[in-house]
Amino acid sequence: YHKYIDERGFFAQVLEPTRICQQINADFKIKQVNLSVSKTKVLRGLHAENWNKLITVLSGRAQLVVADTRKDSPTYKKLVYFDFDADLNSQWGESLYITAKLGNSICAIKGPVYYLYGVDQLYQDRKNSDDQAISLFDPELNINWPFAKEKMIVSKRDLNSISLKELEAKD
């Protein structure tokens, strides 16, 4: 998205659904918009949910990691890293579309990180059994985080999530 910057700050049209659908070549209808705010060194995810998601980092700097956690995919266990820097003076903001069932995570490098994301299902309507939290420190994925594990702030749910090997054994 483009930012119109002046001495007051900036204005940006962050979401234009028709244009987004054209760019991702899919019929993506946002039903809910969520906002999370993270302090520096907060690590969230790695969640593979059964909803499509459009994410935008509105402030701060963050590393996003997308992991293919779909066992039947030719890119299973592959990682893609994104560095989002939402500098106030930057003319452009960035958004990323994440397809359902891909694992995704965010680490706040320079907070506060305002992470806005639109999803195509209401939280209360989705099937929880289709969602999976994968270990952020899974040795098979070997994600390169910007901070040491013991320096990051991670929720109990994410610390106790299972590895891909454990997930495979469940199925």
Confidence of residue 90 (pLDDT cuts 50, 70, 90): low
Read off the pLDDT of each residue in 19-44 and give the average, rounded to a whole number. Answer: 86
CATH class for domain 3-170?
mainly beta
Q: Where are the beta strands (DSSP E) in 20-94?
A: 32-38, 42-48, 53-67, 79-86
What are the pLDDT digits (tens) for 46-71? 999 999 999 999 899 999 999 999 99
Cβ–Cβ < 8 Å for 104, 64: yes
- Name the least confident of 108-117, 123-132, 151-160, 161-170: 123-132
pLDDT-derived band at 33 (thresholds 50, 70, 90) equals: very high
Q: Is the pLDDT of residue 101 over 90?
A: yes
Find out whether 87 and 76 touch, Cβ atoms under 8 Å.
no
**Cα 40 from Cα 63, distance rounded (Å):** 11
Cross-strand partners of 38:
113
pLDDT greater than 70 at residue 134: yes
**Confidence class of residue 92 from pLDDT cuts 50, 70 and 90?**
low
Confidence of residue 168 (pLDDT cuts 50, 70, 90): confident
Q: Rounded distance, CA 104 to CA 134, Å?
A: 9
Residues 6+ apart with CB under 8 A from 76: 68, 69, 70
Write down the pTM of the prediction: 0.86
Q: Which of 59, 61, 62 is nearest to 3 (CA)?
A: 59
pLDDT at 13 over 90: no
pLDDT at 45: 92
Write down the pLDDT at residue 74. 97
